[in-house]
A and B are shown apart, each in its own frame.
Chain A
């Protein structure tokens, strides 16, 4: 009897303890926001938010310094878009292959390969882009340097393919079997079934995959730090060296004097980057929840 009463007190305590643990992720996220803003906001005592975001010149070490991150934002957007143009088709099509066309054995080989690709350290991919792809691009396109937006985009694409592929595959996999059978029974070929039934039915999942892939690309640091070329000017073509936001933060933080305007400006750049990825993730979350496929009823 006593034990029963004891467990009546103990059980809710344990439950709430676990709730507390479950809240750590939220707390960490909140701490990230607090510390980014704490160290980033002082820069706006020096430049206005508008000049910071839309200023065309990033010369943090000049006298007087210029803190306009438009070139960095432009570079980030350029490499992310180009990387997605390459990675989204590759990722989605490979997901279609794995879940619809490949036999069981090939499936069992391909899935780990995609996972291995996802687990490659970004610094190694950046290193490959630097020492192998850059000289290659330089020769093929006959350009001054192979360290440019194109190289960064190709390497970023390689990094986001596994994300896009595995999330798309989950989405395609969850399309009910009856839909495929119905389509095939009506005389459609396998490709017609895939393109007109399976892909439309899993479109929300595929969109989520694409958005998360882009989010991964825009926040990726080592690749753009090592292969994008580092020029802090608004890129005019994909062959121009450029300096996306993460590269700027990683490259300059070591040299920026502690709590100088440069230091604060880098944190503020981190805020911009953080807000962008947060937006991507929230949009992805909304897409996947709002258009969630529930059985066959909502088609």
Chain B
């Protein structure tokens, strides 16, 4: 009896520790979001969202940074979406288990693990210097696009694999070729999942700072970009600049909180949309 009690006690203790660690994680997230919401919402005004910074970035808004982040993110997804989906189609539909596939997967996994600042160096070396694009939307988008490529491949492949084998067999039995099957049967069925993955990729690209520091981001530029060869301001870089490099770091604190809040709202909003779509797909999936 005594022994049994002891075991139950140990179990209770262990579960307590396990619960506690989960609570710590949630609490950390809540505190962080809480602080930024609490101090950030006061900065959010119509002027803040629609005007460029003024008076050496101590007043005014963040409109050019919002526009810059929009262009960079759009460019990144334009680069990564076709490459990523095509890679996923190969891996899921054509590839046979073997050395080549193992090699490709190792490449994708390692690409996913490359530090973001190394992507920045790579973008600087290849796009800015070697190809002569300069610090521009083009260089930044390509760098960010390559950064999110593994995300797109991973989620697209998962979506393609979730399409039941019977769909493919039915199409092939009707005389469809492999490509017709993929194009007309598998892709439409996997499309919602693929889009979810792309949305996650967009969220990731919008929040990255280090890859655009040397390839696209401008410290300050009030004018909006007119071509892909222009430098732009970007939300994440703007936070970094205001918080570390300004001459009035303390006075612009509210602008920093405000920019952080806008960025978080953007990124979390994008992710939330993706999560909701995915939950809906999973519920609807009858196969």
**Residues of A with Cβ closer than 8 Å to B?**
7, 10-11, 14-15, 17-19, 21-26, 28-29, 31-32, 35-36, 38-39, 89-90, 93-94, 96-98, 101, 110, 112-117, 119-128, 130-132, 158, 161, 165, 189-192, 194-195, 212, 215-216, 218-222, 225-226, 246, 249-250, 253-254, 266-267, 270, 273-274, 277-278, 280-282, 285
* Contact of A274 with B114 at beta-carbon distance under 8 Å, contacts A94-B22, A114-B25 already known: yes
Contact with B11, one of A24, A110, A127, A190 (Cβ below 8 angstroms): A190
The answer to whether A97 touches B22, judged by C-beta atoms less than 8 angstroms apart, is yes
Instruction: State the 7 A-B residue pairs at the shortest beta-carbon distance, nearest first.
Output: A219-B115, A121-B207, A21-B86, A35-B125, A191-B11, A22-B90, A18-B90
Give the segment of B44-52, B53-61, B224-232, B235-243 that binds chain A.
Answer: B235-243
Instruction: Contacts A11-B177, A21-B86 given; indicate if A282 touches B117 (C-beta within 8 A).
Output: no
Chain A residues contacting B179 (CB-CB under 8 Å) are 7, 10-11, 14
Interface 1/0 per residue, B232-253 and A, CB below 8 Å: 0000110110011000000001
Q: A39–B121 contact, CB under 8 A? A: yes
Of B12-20, B163-171, B185-193, the one with at least 4 CB within 8 A of chain A: B12-20
Contact A253 B214 (CB under 8 A): yes
Within 8 A of A (CB), among B189-218: 200, 203-204, 206-210, 213-214
Q: Is the CB of A277 within 8 A of B113?
A: yes
- The answer to the question of B74 belonging to the interface, with a C-beta cut-off of 8 Å to chain A, is no
B1 contacts chain A at the CB level, 8 A cutoff: no
B94 at the interface (CB under 8 A from A): yes
A161 to B243, Cβ gap below 8 A?
no
Segment 1-44 of B: residues with Cβ below 8 Å from A: 7-8, 10-11, 14-15, 17-19, 21-22, 24-26, 28-29, 32, 35-36
Is B268 in contact with chain A by the CB < 8 A criterion? yes
Q: Is the CB of A25 within 8 A of B113?
A: no
**Could you pull out 11 A-B pairs where Cβ atoms are within 8 angstroms?**
A31-B126, A38-B125, A89-B21, A101-B19, A125-B32, A158-B32, A221-B115, A253-B124, A253-B213, A273-B117, A274-B118
A97–B89 alpha-carbon span in the complex (Å): 35
B contact residues around A225 at 8 Å (CB): 210, 240
Give every chain B residue within 8 A of A219 (Cβ-Cβ).
Answer: 113-118
CA distance A174 to B147 in the complex (A): 29
**Alpha-carbon distance between A262 and B138 when the two chains are bound, in angstroms:** 26
The answer to whether B150 and A249 touch across the interface, beta carbons within 8 angstroms, is no
Residues in B neighbouring A112, C-beta threshold 8 A: 275
- Chain B minimum-CB-distance residue to A251: B244
Using CB atoms, name the residue of chain B closest to A278.
B110
A250/B118 contact (C-beta < 8 A), A121-B209, A123-B209 known: no
Residues from chain A with Cβ under 8 Å of B18 in the complex: 93-94, 96-97, 101
Q: How far is the CB of B123 from chain A (nearest CB, A)?
A: 9
The one of A10, A17, A39, A158 that contacts B28, using a Cβ cutoff of 8 Å: A158
CB pair B125 A222 closer than 8 Å: no
Count the B residues whose beta carbon is within 8 Å of the partner chain — how many? Answer: 86
On chain A, the residues within 8 Å of B108 by CB distance are 25
Contact B178 A222 (CB under 8 A): no
Enumerate B132-184 residues with CB–CB distance to A below 8 Å. Answer: 146, 149-150, 153, 177-179
A36-B121, A120-B267, A226-B240 known; A195-B87 Cβ under 8 A: no
Interface positions of B from 82 to 137, Cβ below 8 Å from A: 82-83, 86-87, 89-91, 93-95, 103-104, 106-111, 113-122, 124-126, 129-130
Closest to A230 in B: B244
Q: Is there contact, CB below 8 Å, between B90 and A19?
A: yes
Give the CA-CA distance A281 to B105 in the complex, in Å.
12
Contact of A189 (CB < 8 Å), options: B7, B25, B110: B7
Hey, which chain B residues are within 8 Å of A110, CB to CB? Answer: 22, 26
**Contact status A226-B244, CB under 8 Å:** yes
What chain A residues lie within 8 Å of B120 (beta carbons)? Answer: 221, 249-250, 253
Task: List chain A residues, Cβ under 8 A from B244.
Answer: 130, 226
B260 at the interface (CB under 8 A from A): yes
Cβ of A226: which chain B residues have Cβ within 8 Å of it?
240, 243-244
Is the CB–CB distance between A285 and B109 below 8 Å?
Answer: yes
A255 to chain B minimum Cβ distance, whole angstroms, is 11
* Partner pick for B110 among A97, A121, A216, A282, CB 8 A cutoff: A282
CB-CB under 8 A from B73, the residues of chain A are none
Contact present for A131 and B243 (CB under 8 Å)? yes
Cα(A120)–Cα(B115), bound, Å: 16
Chain A residue with minimal CB distance to B266?
A: A121
Most buried by A among B15, B24, B125, B256: B125
B66 touches A (CB below 8 Å): no
Is B263's CB within 8 Å of the partner chain A?
yes
Do A131 and B256 contact each other (CB < 8 Å), given the known contacts A25-B108, A124-B36? Answer: yes
- For the complex with contacts A19-B90, A219-B113, 6 further pairs of A-B residues with Cβ separation under 8 Å are A117-B29, A121-B208, A124-B263, A189-B8, A195-B14, A277-B113
